[in-house]
Structure 1
Amino acid sequence: MLLSIDEFLWALRRDGFAVSTAQAIDVARACALVGFERRAALRDAIGAVVVDRAADIRRYHAAFDRFFAPEGAHVGDLWARLRERGFSASELSALRDLLAAAAERSGVSGDAIGFQALAGTAGELDRALQSAGIARALAPMTSSLQVGFFAQRVMDQLGVPAVASALRRIRSALEEALGEDRGRALAEALGAELERMRHRVREHVTLSLRRFEGEEPAAPGRMDVPFASLGEGEMEEVRRAVRALSERLRGAERVRRRRARRGRIDPHRTLRRSLQTGGVPFHPARRARRRDKPRLMVLCDVSDSVRVAARFMLEFVCAAQDLFDRTRSFVFVSELAETTELFSAMPTGSALEHIQRGEVVSRAHNSNYGRVLSAFEQRYGRDVDRRVTLVILGDGRTNYFADQAEVVRRLRDRARALLWLCPEGPGAWGTGDSAMLRYAAASTKVLVARTARELETAAREVVARRA
């Protein structure tokens, strides 16, 4: 039963539930307490550990019923599944010897993984699919049209073609050792197992793409949905989350300032002062830490491809201006315009509407990063110094114009830090008209900001650069 529970937890992971090792241990303890006699009690005990949201209970119940149905998942390794099909111990022993010889003959580590995945439990295949090497192989995938190609790439990495070739070779050996009928039946059962493994690989690749696109049912809220997929109601929810983040950061800044006014304890002065009291430091001496308050300059691409991400970033900048000594904001498409005075003269929402209507910079043209970066360096480059954190938000798609990545490099050398926030994942960098690989090399750091949660992480990184 412990093996069955382990396989069920891996089935839940495939369905999108996040089950940690600690939770798996708690599930085993819960099962030991409630026993396996009452189905409903067992289902509820496991659910109490692995289900975090009420909205997921129905989906969890469906997964439980599907797994533990009489025709549900086959639990155990290859040999247990073949025993369920009616093959005897002597027949499985002959097969084991043939598979061991085939695996030894291949002599390649990747092929060995394929043989282990075929012969192991479903959980072992899942662990192989979640390895770092498979994750790197799937990183460039960006479209559902690529699922077949990347599924084949994963199969090659696991050694599935070598396993298929070995099974074709041992078919005749099985017929010779077990007789034509039993050998053919065992070979067909192995073919069904191999097809099951291929199906699981394709399923894993499809699920990975859905996670990348934010369409996975288990996504924990709107903060993890890509900006391009947000509806109007969802955008308002994310907007409130961005404002709440700004308030939290401002609160942390007030605490930091209050502590800074007290100053840090100066150990040397405290020890010298303690000589008056026989070496007992009754009166700690403090030292005020003087530090220039850093400045922030933000350039946001407001073209259609990144306008939602830019809107949230500009809202964050406006809401958290007191975190920096001076905050200057700029927007661009093909031309560059400063919006610092615009945001100080009117409410944030109204200023953003002006930008969205194209009243600040024309949105009728395609993005021209090279022209904008050169214009920024020429007009405002002298204002960039070691107190300035420069943030650029854009997808780096130049529409095949010059990228002027050397301008980014020069600005980075002048600034405290140059952070690039990109609303596209690394898998899309360098494809088509993307110059993000060159911009990434020229920047201090690139932060992916496809979702509100990733934008929150990026915003915290921007604030952390003040220290």
Structure 2
Amino acid sequence: MLLSLDEFLWALRRDGFAVSTAQAIDAARACALVGFGDRAALRDAIGAVVVERAADLRRFHACFDRFFSPAGAHVGDLWGRLRERGFSDAELSALRDLLSAAAERSGAHGDAVAFHALTGAAGELEQMLRSAGIARVLAPMTSSLQVGFFAQRVMDQLGVPAVASALRRIRSALQEALGEDRGAALADALSAELERMRHRVREHVTLSLRRLEGEAPATAGRMDVPFASLGEDEMEDVRRAVRDLSERLRGAERLRRRRARRGRIDPHRTLRRSLQTGGVPFRPARRARRRDKPRLMVLCDVSDSVRVAARFMLEFVCAAQDLFDRTRSFVFVSELAETTELFEGGPTNVVLARIQRGEVVSRAHNSNYGRVLRAFEERYGREVDRRVTIVILGDGRTNYFPDEAEVLRRLRDRARALLWLCPEGPGAWGTGDSAMLRYAAASTKVLVARTARELETAAREVVARRA
């Protein structure tokens, strides 16, 4: 049962629960106290130790029921699972000898790790996948399109190809030792175990990518749909997600302000003060670090080509009022108009509807980035200094008007940073009327924002520029 509990805790880690060694020890003690006779009591006892938030309780129950169901995870090591399939001890002994010989041959080339993962319990494979070497292999991964490539790299690191090659030789040896039918059946069972290990590696790579992207393991789908492909129902879900992000950013800012009021601990003054009393009592000395709050200027292209992305970005502008000392927002198509007072004086939905109807700037014309950049520099250029972060959302398609990238470069040199959020991928830059390659060279950084998740990442980057 201790082995089963250990594998269940690894299944919880795979589902996104952070189970520490201390919690694992406490879970074993809890199981010893309540016993294994009452399923509900056992589930509640482990949950009381492992689950830290009420919101995670339902996910814990689902994982528990899935793992301990008759069709749940494969508990035990390879030999126990094969024994459950009806193979005798003599047949397993023959297989053990063949695998040991193959592992010794592979060990000379450093490929014996996969043999241990195949023959051991599920928890052993989990520990190997969480090793520092595997983490280094996965570190360069940035896109879901790379999952297959990096899964193969992880399998190469573990030595899975060596096991697959050995199984082809073992099949004929088993058929010779056990007979055609029993040897083939045992080889097929072993191949199924290897396929299960491959599937687990790919699953680990996928979950690692989601953690790198800051995504919860159970989060899905619509946040990763390109803006141009969103249906009306999906758009409402994404709007809700963007509003939730805004609230989280506001909450983090309120927490930071509360801590700032207390002042940060000054370690040098604290240690010098403690010398007077030998460290008893130990009174922290605090310092209030004065830092000018930076300002934000946001320019959004609201033409039809970026209409949806601009709507979500303007939702974020409302949250930015609390995050920066002064946030000024502008929208443009062919002309530039300031919307700061509109957002301060009315509900967000009303303001967005007015912009969509063309009441703020005419949407009957094509985008003219050069004219807009010149107008912004003439009207507001003197207000741009090292406290100002400029954010521009647009696809950089100039409709063959002058791009005025030099104006953008001058604004960047005066500002704290100039970030460009582009709803097109780098593959489309420079094609047709796109001036994004020149705009990218003139900006501090270009952030791709084709989906709601990429827009969330970009918004966090904007907020991080306050530091």
TM over 0.5: yes
Aligned to 1:386: 386
1:296 partnered with 2:296: yes
1:430 partnered with 2:434: no
How far did residue 94 of structure 1 move? 0.9
* Partner SS, residue 307 of structure 2: coil
Aligned to 1:10: 10
Alignment of structure 1 residues 450-461 onto 2, 5 Å? 450=453, 457-458=460-461, 460-461=463-464
Aligned to 2:316: 313
* Partner SS, residue 296 of structure 1: strand
Q: Rate the CA distance shift 1:59–1:351 in 2: closer, same or farther, 3 A.
A: closer
Q: Rate the CA distance shift 1:68–1:294 in 2: closer, same or farther, 3 A.
A: closer
Q: Deviations over 1:207-254 (max 9, x none)?
A: 66888999967459x999999786648846864773685477479669
Aligned to 1:93: 96
* Partner SS, residue 386 of structure 1: coil
Alignment RMSD, CA only?
Answer: 5.1
TM-score, normalised with respect to structure 1: 0.68
Alignment of structure 1 residues 75-94 onto 2, 5 Å? 75-85=75-85, 86-88=87-89, 90-94=93-97
Q: Deviations over 1:155-187 (max 9, x none)?
A: 556543443222113322344455555543432
Write the distance in 2 (CA, Å) between the matches of 1:14 and 1:365: 52
After superposing the two structures, state which structure 1 stretch, 351-360 or 127-136, moved more.
127-136
After superposing the two structures, state which structure 1 stretch, 53-62 or 295-304, moved more.
53-62
Alignment of structure 1 residues 337-356 onto 2, 5 Å? 337-343=337-343, 346=346, 348-356=348-356
Contact 2:223 2:453 survives alignment (8 Å): no
Q: Deviations over 1:264-312 (max 9, x none)?
A: 9xx9xxxxxxxxxxxxxxxxxxx99998664332233542341343132
Structure 2 letter corresponding to 1:141? S
Aligned to 1:104: 107
Tell me how many residue pairs correspond in the alignment: 425
Write the distance in 2 (CA, Å) between the matches of 1:23 and 1:43: 15
Structure 2 letter corresponding to 1:72? G
Structure 2 letter corresponding to 1:49? V
After superposing the two structures, state which structure 1 stretch, 75-84 or 163-172, moved more.
75-84
How far did residue 148 of structure 1 move? 6.2
Aligned to 1:64: 64
Q: Rate the CA distance shift 1:316–1:59 in 2: closer, same or farther, 3 A.
A: closer
Write the distance in 1 (CA, Å) between the matches of 2:407 and 2:207: 40
How far did residue 191 of structure 1 move? 0.8
Contact 1:43 1:64 survives alignment (8 Å): yes
* Partner SS, residue 74 of structure 1: coil
Write the distance in 2 (CA, Å) between the matches of 1:129 and 1:441: 42
Aligned to 2:189: 189
Q: Deviations over 1:71-118 (max 9, x none)?
A: 53222333443344434363243123233144236x2x6x55544432
Contact 1:150 1:205 survives alignment (8 Å): yes
Alignment of structure 1 residues 189-338 onto 2, 5 Å? 189-204=189-204, 218-219=218-219, 232=236, 235=239, 239=243, 242=246, 245-246=249-250, 249=253, 294-302=294-302, 303-317=306-320, 319-320=321-322, 323-324=324-325, 326-332=326-332, 336-338=336-338
Contact 2:299 2:330 survives alignment (8 Å): yes
Contact 1:294 1:389 survives alignment (8 Å): yes
Q: Deviations over 1:309-355 (max 9, x none)?
A: 313222123x438x52x432223456644323544565554333322
1:132 partnered with 2:128: no
Contact 1:354 1:360 survives alignment (8 Å): yes
Contact 2:366 2:399 survives alignment (8 Å): no
Contact 1:9 1:19 survives alignment (8 Å): yes
Write the distance in 2 (CA, Å) between the matches of 1:365 and 1:118: 64
TM-score, normalised with respect to structure 2: 0.68
Structure 2 letter corresponding to 1:103? S
Aligned to 2:275: none
Write the distance in 2 (CA, Å) between the matches of 1:251 and 1:69: 43
Structure 1 letter corresponding to 2:122? A
Write the distance in 1 (CA, Å) between the matches of 2:127 and 2:334: 47
Aligned to 2:73: 73
Q: Deviations over 1:21-69 (max 9, x none)?
A: 5543432332233233433221111122334555654553343233223
Aligned to 2:444: 443
Structure 1 letter corresponding to 2:39? R
Q: Deviations over 1:376-409 (max 9, x none)?
A: 4566444322232323456x67599899877666
Write the distance in 1 (CA, Å) between the matches of 2:62 and 2:103: 38
* Partner SS, residue 390 of structure 1: strand
* Partner SS, residue 304 of structure 1: helix
Aligned-residue identity in percent: 63
Write the distance in 2 (CA, Å) between the matches of 1:288 and 1:69: 56
Q: Flag structure 2 segments of 5+ consecutive residues without an equivalent.
A: 270-286, 431-435
Contact 1:210 1:216 survives alignment (8 Å): yes
Structure 2 letter corresponding to 1:340? T
Q: Rate the CA distance shift 1:238–1:444 in 2: closer, same or farther, 3 A.
A: closer
Write the distance in 2 (CA, Å) between the matches of 1:311 and 1:39: 51
* Partner SS, residue 36 of structure 2: coil
